[in-house]
Amino acid sequence: MKRFIILLLTVLAGHVYGQSLVIPPEINLPKDSATKVQLISALNGFLAQKEKPHAENKFILKDEFLATSMLLDELKGLEKNSKLKDDNYYKPYLANVSALGDDVFSTRINYMADVNGTPVLRSSFRLMVKKVEGAFYVYSPLKQTTQSWKTKKLGNISFHYQDTLNLTGAKYYYNTVSLYDKKLHTPTQPIALYLCDNVAAALQVLGVDYNLQYNGLAWGTLSVHENDSLLLVNGWNAYKSRFDPHDLFHERLRQVVNPDIINRPVDEGCAYLYGGSWGISWPEIIRMFKEYAAANPNADWLTLYINEKNKNFSEGSKPLKISYAINALIAQKYDKEKGGAPMALLTCGKVEKGDENYFKALEKVSGITKASFNSEVWKLVRNAQ
């Protein structure tokens, strides 16, 4: 009888939503048959709509929309095996259902594949399911897993931490975010920042216990921006409140504009200027670049920019690129004259052959033309401080 009910639930859910969980017979489902159907249907509906824009997923619990949106980002494309070009290689298996109350359940789902009789795990994650006004909705366990954490608010940023907050590091982070938002003309928005020890811990508080794509990765930050609010789950050593000011510039820029229109050399140049690179400060970067220019007095910056964008000017182990340093100098000039980052240049589009989109925007924001590029860059290098 139990096998029949499980089969019926799977078929019904699959018919309605186009895909369904694989439910092993040993899984203990709710005893009430109506609850079983509603619970499994909500999970299947949530997964069936996970590739859609988050706001269109009808099975997200509204009160937990932001955290669940972040979790959804981690669930996209889990069925696919790109190497084998198989879009349905991994299957979702229901691994656990635990009742935490009459209307709240904790579930675990594993995306797995059978490879010659050996199970291969792609991802394992937890979803909370709650009944509200007669229907079940799905959400991330972030708030549940961090309910004993502490909170410190600085301006528009709420820092959530487990034990001790490095207040000096938190203030530095807040001040850097404020600086970047001013440079980017970003309106002040609420930011919730959860501080974790590493990327594995960050994923776990969100509800992801394993994801193959993070295999071997120690550090990182998860982020989602929805409805003028930003959620960050930082896995960069919680006590030190560690972050990379260079990467933070990239992160803040992407809260303002679509990544598809960002010109990478300009983006990297601004990050050099405001946040350094590889732990090397901007004053040190420009000192090294001036040394390179002095050693190459006949350098043709236009040719180097167009044809050798990845050419380094540093001899150390950390790569520092000529094209990025040039854009840092251009951004510095723009900031001094007009205030803020050169948004029109930052958003002139991805790198094209010949860089016509770049030079068109460059002339508009700075007056530097393709014909005058080499001589103007030499002026910037000689006057750089």
What average pLDDT does range 125-133 have in this prediction? 96
- Sheet of strand 157-161, all strands in order from the earlier edge strand to the far edge: 150-154, 157-161, 191-196, 229-235, 220-226
238 with 197: CB under 8 angstroms? yes
Distance from C-alpha of 294 to C-alpha of 39, rounded to nearest angstrom: 69
Rounded Cα–Cα distance for residues 33 and 5 (Å): 8
Task: Provide the pLDDT for residue 8.
Answer: 39
Bridge partners of 115, per DSSP, are 118
Please check the confidence at residue 2 and state whether its pLDDT lies above 50. no
Q: What is the mean pLDDT of residues 39-61?
A: 95
Q: What mean pLDDT do residues 333-360 have?
A: 96
Are the CB atoms for 258 and 348 separated by under 8 Å? no
Instruction: Report domain extents, the chain.
Output: 2-141, 150-243, 261-383
Tell me the pTM: 0.84
Q: What is the pLDDT of residues 183-198, one digit of tens each?
A: 999 888 999 999 998 8
Percent of the chain with pLDDT over 90: 77
**Lowest model confidence (mean pLDDT) among 34-48, 112-126, 267-281, 363-377:** 112-126
Burial call 97-135: b when 16+ CB within 10 Å, e when fewer: beeeeeeebbbbbbbbbeeeeeeeebbbbbbbbbbeeee
What architecture is the 2-141 domain classified under in CATH? Answer: Roll (3.10)
User: Got the DSSP string for 76-90?
Assistant: TTTT-BTTTTBTT-S
The torsion defined by the Cα of 68, 69, 75 and 76, in degrees rounded to 10, comes to: 160
Q: What is the mean pLDDT of residues 297-311?
A: 95
pLDDT at 371: 97
What angle do the packed helices 199-206 and 65-75 form, to 10 degrees? 120
The band of 246, judged by pLDDT with boundaries at 50, 70 and 90, is: very high
- Cβ within 8 Å of residue 147, ≥6 positions away: none
Radius of gyration of the chain (CA): 25
Please tell me the distance from the alpha carbon of residue 23 to that of residue 34, in angstroms, as a whole number: 17
Other CB atoms within 10 Å distance of the CB of residue 164: 10
| Residue 11 predicted with pLDDT over 90 | no
Compute the distance between CA of residue 156 and CA of residue 80 in angstroms, rounded to an integer. Answer: 39
Residues contacting residue 380 through CB under 8 Å, at least 6 positions apart: 326, 329, 330, 332, 333
